[in-house]
Amino acid sequence: MIKRFDPEAMVGAPMLSLSEFPPAGPKACRHRGGGHCNECKVRLVSVCAALTSDELDDLEALSQHVSLGPREALFSQEGRADAVYNVTEGAIRLSRLLSDGRRHVMGFALPGDFLGLSMPERHSLTAEALMPTEVCRFERRPFRGLVSDKPNLLDRLYERAGYELMLAEEQMILLSRRTAEEKVACFLVGLRRRYARIGRISVTLELPMGRQDIADHLGLTIETVSRMLTHLDRARLILIVPGGVRLLDADRLERLAGI
C-alpha cells in the first residue's frame, strides 16, 4: 500500500530571496578525452545530436565539465554572458529578480537543454541548480567559431531556438488565460512531456523544484499551488508522493490542462 503524506505540509514554507542562496561554487574541469561526448546520456536529444563522432571530438575539445550542488549558481543575473551551456544531468531553475525585489521563475532547464544562446553581453537571468547537476560549458567565442564551420550544428541550434520560443509562448498563455487548477495541471503535463522527450517515461513525475518555485513560475501563491495539488490528489488524477507526484489518470489531467 502506498502511504500518503499530508499535502499541506509544505504550505507556509518560507520564501528564499536570491540573496539567501550561497555563492556559486561549481566544480569545473576540462574533459580529457575518452569519448565523454559520445557516451553522454543526452547525446541524441541535445544540440550535439547533429554531430558525427569526429565532430563531437572537436566539440569536446572546447568543453568544460561543471558539477553543481543544490542551490549553486551556474551564472547570475547581470553577470558576463561569456559562455553557453548544455545540461546533461539534474535540473536548473531560471529566475529573474525584479526591480521591486520580487522573484519570477522563468522556467526550469532539464537534461538536453541548452542555455545562454540568446543572452546579450550580460545575463538577464540567474541559473541555479535544484539538485546535483552536470553541465558542459563552452566559451562563447570558440563555440561560435565551431558552429560557423558546421552548418548541421547551426541548423540544430535554430531548431532549439524554435523550441524555446514555443515554450515561451506556452508560458504566456498559461499565465494569462488559465485558472489556477488548469495552470498546475498544465505544468505537470508539460513537465511530463519534457521528461518523455529525453526518454524518462514513468507514471511517477519527479519534481526537483519546490512548491514556491512552482508558484513563482505560474504566478500563483504557494498556498494556491498546495491547494490545487491537494485537489488533484483527492480527485484521483495524481497521488502526491515524496519528491513528486504519481500520475493516476494522465488522460484526465491532459484534458484539464487543455493541451
Residue 10 scores a pLDDT above 50? no
The reply to whether 139 and 196 lie within a common domain is: no
Choosing from 168, 201, 232, the residue where a domain stops is 168
Based on the fold, state whether residues 100 and 158 are members of the same structural domain. yes
- pTM of the complete model: 0.79
Same structural domain for residues 131 and 209?
no
**Do 141 and 55 sit in the same domain of this protein?**
yes
Within 8 A by CB and 6+ apart from 29, the residues are 64, 65
Q: What is the pLDDT of residues 111-134, one digit of tens each?
A: 989 888 776 788 999 999 999 999
The answer on 128 and 26 residing in a single domain is yes
Last residue of a domain, one of 168, 193, 221: 168
Cell numbers found for residue 248: 493516476
Number of domains making up the chain: 2
Indicate the SS3 state at residue 217: helix
Residue with cell 578525452: 33
Q: What pLDDT digit, counting tens, does each position of 56-113 carry? A: 788 888 889 999 999 999 999 999 999 999 999 999 999 999 888 889 999 999 998 9
| Structural domain harbouring 22 | 18-168
Residues 155 and 96 in one domain: yes
Residues 164 and 184 in one domain: no
Cell numbers 545530436 correspond to 49
CATH assignment of the domain containing 93: 2.60.120.10
Task: Order across the sheet with 73-75: list the strands.
Answer: 73-75, 126-129, 92-97, 103-109
β-sheet bridge partners, residue 134: 67, 89
Position 26 scores a pLDDT of 52
